[in-house]
Amino acid sequence: MPEGNEPPSDGAHTSGIERVLVVMAHPDDVDFGCAGTVALWTGAGVEVVYLMVTDGEAGGDERTQDGEAMAELRRSEQRKAAAAVGVHDVRFLGYPDGRVLPTLELRRDIARVIRLVRPQRVVIPSPERDWAHIAPSHPDHLATGEAGINAVYPDARNPHAHPELLTEEGLEPWKVPQVWLVHGPSPDRFCDITDVYDRKLAALSCHASQIGDVEELAGMLRPWLTQNAAAGGLPEGRLAESFRHVDTR
């Protein structure tokens, strides 16, 4: 093989991964947190499914639009943003934005989608608050992370958890071998997204109801992604998204 044409290294950690389920609280969370990495995964042939706990109807400064109209707008923005990084399966649970709690019902609803999708990796917000960066630790994110990890272990794999999933819906238990946490206090996986950075920006720009000025946003994103890359030991000038890997086998 001529020099320069080597297959890309597995910088996005796709070895053994066929399907990934990303569970987030609001439309746009996935695009801020990990759309670049998702673009790498779909580019490598991994099937990625998004599950949004809320429709994000409480987002933005708009005070005249009614909740259902805002919810519909945000669902459609998220579907466009997903398509920009190769994701065509976006599901919504419709929990009320701003009032997410890690209830048994939410655990069951996430476990149901895990059993349907049967992913080798689930990506969730960190249920652990990062005191150094308070904004990403929104209570809906923490609650989604807590319900998400409980849905992975034990609910999705235990036939006695939410027994109606098996007895009424015929959904066999599924063991997710690994979880990646976004926005947690102690990341240990750094995905180099420099080459797909414009696709992350394109995904973010689909959230027009939330993001006024994409240029301004890009100005904020770049230093943060550069910091991630430095923390991951990547060469200067690179951009990275960061995660914490959790072995859930």
Name the residue nearer to Zn ion (CB basis): 17 or 25: 25
Name the residue nearer to Zn ion (CB basis): 94 or 177: 94
Taking CB under 5 A as the rule, does residue 77 contact Zn ion? Answer: no
> What are the distances in angstroms from CA 152 to CA 33, 55, 161?
20, 22, 11
Stretch that binds Zn ion, among 21-29, 188-196, 197-205, 210-218 (CB under 5 A): 21-29
Name the residue nearer to Zn ion (CB basis): 13 or 74: 74
Beta strands at 121-125 and 19-24: parallel, antiparallel or unpaired: parallel
Name the residue nearer to Zn ion (CB basis): 86 or 145: 145
> Phi/psi zone of residue 158: left (φ > 0), alpha (ψ -120 to 50 degrees), beta?
beta
Taking CB under 5 A as the rule, does residue 26 contact Zn ion? Answer: yes
Name the residue nearer to Zn ion (CB basis): 55 or 192: 55
Within 30-59, which residues bind Zn ion (CB under 5 A)? none
Q: From the CB of residue 62, how many other CB atoms can be counted at a distance below 10 Å? A: 11
Least distance CB 125 / Zn ion (angstroms):
8
Instruction: Give the span between the Cα atoms of 219 and 216, in whole angstroms.
Output: 5
> Phi/psi zone of residue 223: left (φ > 0), alpha (ψ -120 to 50 degrees), beta?
alpha
Instruction: Give the span between the Cα atoms of 48 and 83, in whole angstroms.
Output: 11
Least distance CB 43 / Zn ion (angstroms):
25
Taking CB under 5 A as the rule, does residue 183 contact Zn ion? Answer: no
Amino acid identity of 17?
Answer: I
Least distance CB 16 / Zn ion (angstroms):
30
Name the residue nearer to Zn ion (CB basis): 25 or 38: 25
Binding-site member from 12, 14, 22, 29 for Zn ion (CB under 5 A):
29
Taking CB under 5 A as the rule, does residue 155 contact Zn ion? Answer: no
Within 97-116, which residues bind Zn ion (CB under 5 A)? none
Least distance CB 144 / Zn ion (angstroms):
9
Least distance CB 5 / Zn ion (angstroms):
40
> What are the distances in angstroms from CA 111 to CA 21, 100, 146, 163?
11, 16, 13, 11
Kind and range of the H or E run holding 217: helix 214-231
Taking CB under 5 A as the rule, does residue 79 contact Zn ion? Answer: no
Q: From the CB of residue 159, how many other CB atoms can be counted at a distance below 10 Å? A: 12
Name the residue nearer to Zn ion (CB basis): 46 or 51: 51
Task: Name the burial class of residue 212, with classes exposed (0-12), middle (13-18) and buried (19+) by CB atoms within 10 angstroms of its CB.
Answer: exposed
Question: Interface with Zn ion by CB under 5 A: which residues?
Answer: 25-26, 29
